[in-house]
Structure 1
Amino acid sequence: MLLRPVFRSIVLLSAVLFSLTGCGGGGDKPAANANLSGVKLILGDQAKGLRTIVEASHAFDGLPYQVEWANFQGAAPLFEALRAGAVDLAPAGDTPVLAAATGGAPLRIVAVRRSQSRSIAILVPKDSPIHSVADLKGRNVVVSSARGSISQYLLIRALANAGVNENDVKIGFVLPTDALSAFNAGKIEAWATFGIYQAFAEEAGARVLISGEGINTGLTFITASDAVLSDALRRQALNDVLQRMAKAFDWARNNPDEYAKIFAKTNDIPLPVSQRLHSWGLEALLPVEERDIKALQGVDDLFVEKKIFPNAVDVAKLVDREAFAK
């Protein structure tokens, strides 16, 4: 009986050390055959992107633990849920991850996907008189989904490259589902958006003023909460989740036509929209490398300089390199 308080103290000390180092050892590793049947992970998602690919590939068949999905239309509400302890895993682009970290969200980056950033763009109506980024001067531009988004990063860089002062553009922030409806109704002059919302708009005739290719990092991260990473059994389950997700993305890359059909049916969207979205590429899920850390730090530096983020983040300390161990 006397050992119990000592054991509790050791566990608490391990958790404190984990939060301070940011490398997340997770305490003593459970045995490889540890019983995970009592473990449950709540997996956050955006526009059902992860869930659809996992279910289409059957990557989660035979899980030795429980999972529950929680879907969000944007990164901002997803990270609010993570901060509140309502989700354990959160996928998002580079800037939302930084925004969440700047705001003190208890998270670590555990995996990365790299793309060419075609799925980020500034769109205008097909008959718009706006034909260049320079033409945005004096115009209203809507950004999805919130301050610190990948879309805002594209807009900032594009305006700077075109020699347009940000103060000469009227910028507003609207969640993507609401913005899509407004854009289709002709109520938005220019829209900086991403992903499936962009695919819907382009399929309906929207014109790409500029895409994120060559501007955005193209990095999408999987983040996990500190609470999961500091719990040995849940950490083991998380590692298994990431391994299975990696196989799911490999399956989708090898079966693009089949996956586009499944994605369309699962999400109740037109097949051409799904095909357009996935024509922009499906990337592998990989461990984080130094080049990813460097690229993400560069994004943070810009947003701190622009005073979008109140303080800098040391990206290297955000990364848990062991959570996605083979």
Structure 2
Amino acid sequence: MSASNLKRRLLLQGLAAGALVSGAPLVRAAQDKTLRIGYQKFNTLNILKGTGQLEKTLQTKGWNVKWFEFAAGPQLTEALNADAIDFGHAADTPSVFANASGVNAVYLGAEQPYPKGIAVFVAQDSPIRSIKELKGKKVATGRGWNVQFLLLKALEEVGLSYRDIEPVYVTNAADVRAAFQSGNVDAATLWDPFLAGQQITTNPRILRDGTGLSNNRTFHLAVPKFVDQNKDIVRTLFAELKKANTWTQAHPQETADLLAPQLGVDAKVLKLATERRNYTTVAVDAGIVAEQQQIADAFLKLGLIKNPVQVQDKVYREVLL
């Protein structure tokens, strides 16, 4: 498949309808100064998009911004690899899986820990009361998801291994909810805002969140060539992101109200997710590299990724935030 066809396939599969309707070109002209950003529902980039401030600032530099929504991190990192976007974000585990598969992207920054934004849960009336009771049970999760790593660590914490359960792999959060609510699985895994939505609608019993097991960081990733050629633009993006994050931290209700119509998600769901999150972007230091390396090594040991990863080699050589 040619590079142009791959880009088209990725965009058709991963981008929101609004981006498709806009008819955004997949191949930029040499003179087109456009920053193409990939984002997922409910994240710091999503909030920045909602403010419209990045567009205003970059306009003074002669640049435009185009936003593309993806269902999850794996689709977004594939788009980075296909040069269909320049910049985007993904959680810790999707980023590691991207590293292992050779995706052409570098780490530029990391969000603060968000352990309560991921969970393993069962129905409120389920006889299962603990992670240990998941032995031999069906659990809905996704390959390379942040909650897959949480599930792995939660099982190890009680003396089980990932092979002690029957993972039921799905491709998106909607499939998790469908499998869970149909009773086709015994337990499920989700991340915010989908986790918050599940909590509000069905009040599941949380068996384990990420506290003490997974920091559930989000990473800002970019195509290295784009960063090399446009460091000033990247610095401007991070400067505007910092302003948006500072405002968000102090205004959870206003953030929920801002994002609700944009995302088509109930403001009550977004408020719950916002209140348990710390909105700050930091440089990828040695401690954060070690966290990512632990994830890479764990999945390599299980055979769920095939190639060893040296996370430090994937960190951009300069701090731009």
- 1:250 matched to 2:250? The reply is no
Q: Structure 2: where are the runs of 5+ without partners?
A: 1-30
Q: Which has the larger radius of gyration?
A: 1
> Which position in structure 2 is the counterpart of 1:310?
306
1:148 pairs, out of 137, 144, 149, with 144
For 1:62, the equivalent position in structure 2 comes to 57
1:219–1:292 Cα contact (<8 Å) kept: no
Cα RMSD, aligned residues only: 1.9
Instruction: Between 220-229 and 265-274, report the one with greater CA deviation.
Output: 265-274
> Which of residues 237, 241, 256 in structure 1 aligns to 2:237?
241
Deviation at 1:84, TM superposition (A): 1.1
Q: Distance in 2 between matches of 1:71 and 1:215?
A: 29
CA positional deviation for 1:158: 0.8
CA gap of 1:139–1:250, structure 2 versus 1, over 3 A, is same
**Partner amino acid, structure 1, of 2:234:** L
- TM-score, scaled relative to structure 1: 0.82
Select the structure with the greater relative contact order (CA < 8 A; seq sep ≥ 6): 1
SS, match of residue 213 in structure 1: coil
* Secondary structure of 1:167's aligned partner: helix
Q: What is the SS of the residue equivalent to 2:272? A: helix
Among residues 247, 268, 275, which one is paired with 1:272 in the alignment?
268
1:52 touches 1:266 (CA, 8 Å); kept in 2? no
- Cα distance in 1 for partners of 2:96, 2:182 equals 33
Q: What is the TM-score when the length of structure 2 is the normalising length? A: 0.84
Match of 2:35 among 37, 41, 48: 41
Q: Which residue of 1 aligns with 2:180?
A: 183
1:42–1:67 CA contact under 8 A, matched in 2: yes
Q: Deviations over 1:159-212 (max 9, x none)?
A: 111122332311021121222233234333211121111111111112211101
Partner residue of 1:173? 169
1:82 positional shift = 1.1
Query: Matched residue of 2:88: which SS?
Result: strand
* 1:58 Cα offset (Å): 4.2
CA shift in 2, pair 1:111/1:47, >3 Å: same
Q: Secondary structure at the match of 1:188?
A: coil
Partner of residue 15, structure 1: none
Q: SS where residue 57 of structure 2 aligns?
A: coil
Q: Give the partner amino acid of 1:54.
A: L
1:168/1:190 Cα in 2 relative to 1: closer, same or farther (>3 Å)? same
Asked whether the equivalents of residues 40 and 46 of structure 2 are also in contact (C-alpha less than 8 Å), the reply is no
| Residue equivalent to 2:227 | 229
Note the 1:91-240 alignment, pairs <5 A: 91-144=89-142, 147-174=143-170, 175-204=172-201, 205-231=203-229, 234-240=230-236
Mapped to 1, the partners of 2:263 and 2:114 lie a distance apart of 24
| Uncovered stretches (5+) of structure 1, i.e. residues with no partner | 1-36
Per-residue CA distance 1:50-86 (angstroms, 9 max, x = gap)? 4531144443123231111110111111111111111
